[in-house]
Amino acid sequence: MSLDQNFKNLILDYLFQAWAFFAAEEIADCLSGAEVIPIRQEQLKDRLGDRFRELDVPLLVRWPDGRREALLFVLEEESDPQRFSIHRLAHYCLDLTELYETDRVVPVVIFLRGQAPRRELVLGTERHAYLHFDFIACELAAIAYERFRDSDNIVARLNLPNMHYAPERKLDAYAHAVSGLVDLEEDPEKRLKYIDFIDIYAALDDNERASYERDYPQEAEIMTGFAERFIEQGRQQGKQEARQEMKGFTEHFIEQGKREGKQEGQATILLRQLQLKFGVMPETVRRKIEHADPQTLLVWSERVLTATGIEQVIGD
C-alpha cells in the first residue's frame, strides 16, 4: 500500500480527529451535526488528453439544518516536498469551488518529510495582487513529538514516529504511539490495521526492536498480542477459504455427476431403442451417441419413432 493510501485511510477512519490535528485553526468551531461526504478525487477533464488534477482526500462538509454554508476540505499528503505544486493545488481548489458552488474551502497539505517549498501563491503586479492563495501546511517532521506524546487524539498519537525527536527518543515515540492505539481504539480490526501504520513509519531495525522489547516490555507484549492475533486470523481465514474452496469443488463435481448420469442414462435408452428397431449398432454410431450432450440425445430419441434408418436418427 502506498504512503498516500495510508494517510487516506487514516483521515477517512478518523475524520474529526484528523481535522483537529492537521487543521486545528479551522476546527475551532464545533462540527457537530455536520454531514461529511467524500467526493470524487479527480475532476472532469475539458479534453480527453488533459491530465487529471487529483489530490488525496477531498471532503464536503454540510450542515443539513442550513445554519452554515457547505465547507470543502482538501487534504493532500506529500512524502517528497519537491513533488508538491502550489499551482496544482490552487487549480484543484478552484475547480472544486466552481463545481460545488461555494467559496468556502480549506486546503491542507501534510508534509511527511521536509518543509513546504512554497507557502503562498500571489498573482499580480507590483501595483496590485489579483489572486492570493495559501494553504495550511502540516510539517510533521518539524513538530516536537513531546507535544503530542500523551495526546488523546489518535491521529496525533499514530503519527508520533513521523514527528521530530532526538535519536535516543525514537523508541519512546514508538512506544507511545502503540499505547495510544491501544488506549484510544477499541475495534480489534482497526488496531491490527494501524499497528502496521505505526510500524511502517517507525521502521525499527533489528537492534532497535530488541532494545524496545527490553525497555518497553508492556508495549512489546501488546505488539506480540497483535502479531499472534494477526497470525491466528490468517490461519482462520485460510481455513475458511479452504473450506469454501472445497465446498465449491464438491458442488461442482456433484453437479457434473448429475449431468453425466443424465447423459449416460439417455444414451443407454437411445441405444436400446435403435437396437430394437434396427438391430446391431455400428461402433461409430455407438461412440457418437455416447459422446452426445443430453439435448442432442433427446432430439435423436424423438426421431426414432418415424425414422426408417439409423442415419435419419443421428444425422445432422
Q: In 10 A of CB 154, how many CB atoms? A: 22
Q: What sign has the CA pseudo-torsion 139, 144, 145, 147?
A: negative
- pLDDT for the residue 38: 77
Q: In the structure grid, which three cell numbers stand for residue 54, read together?
A: 487529483
Q: What is the DSSP letter of 141?
A: G
Q: 258 and 289 in contact (C-beta within 8 Å)?
A: no
DSSP string, 1-30: --HHHHHHHHHHHTHHHHHHHHTGGG-SS-
Q: Which of 263, 311, 307 is nearest to 284 (CA)?
A: 311
- pLDDT for the residue 179: 92
Query: Coil, strand or helix: which one is 293?
Result: coil
- pLDDT for the residue 49: 42
DSSP string, 163-201: SB--GGGHHHHHHHHHHHHHHH---HHHHHHHHHHHHHH
Q: Where are the alpha helices (DSSP H) in the chain?
A: 3-13, 15-22, 86-99, 154-158, 170-184, 188-202, 206-215, 217-278, 283-290, 294-303, 310-314
Q: In 10 A of CB 167, how many CB atoms? A: 6
Cα–Cα distance for residue pair 197/59, rounded to 1 Å: 22
Q: How far is CA 91 from CA 46, 101, 116, 194, 308, in A?
A: 14, 15, 18, 33, 83
- pLDDT for the residue 123: 94
- pLDDT for the residue 140: 94
Cα–Cα distance for residue pair 39/42, rounded to 1 Å: 9
- CA geometry: angle 21, 22, 27, nearest 5 deg: 70
Q: 54 and 42 in contact (C-beta within 8 Å)?
A: yes
Q: Taking the chain (316 residues) in consecutive chunks of 10 residues, what is each chunk's mean pLDDT? A: 72 87 74 73 44 60 75 82 90 87 89 89 93 93 96 96 95 94 90 89 90 83 67 61 54 51 72 76 82 82 80 77
Q: 306 and 299 in contact (C-beta within 8 Å)?
A: no
Q: How far is CA 125 from CA 130, 131, 135, 223, 241, in A?
A: 8, 10, 21, 58, 66
pTM over 0.75: no
Q: In the structure grid, which three cell numbers stand for residue 230, read together?
A: 494477526
Q: 78 and 109 in contact (C-beta within 8 Å)?
A: yes
- pLDDT for the residue 264: 73
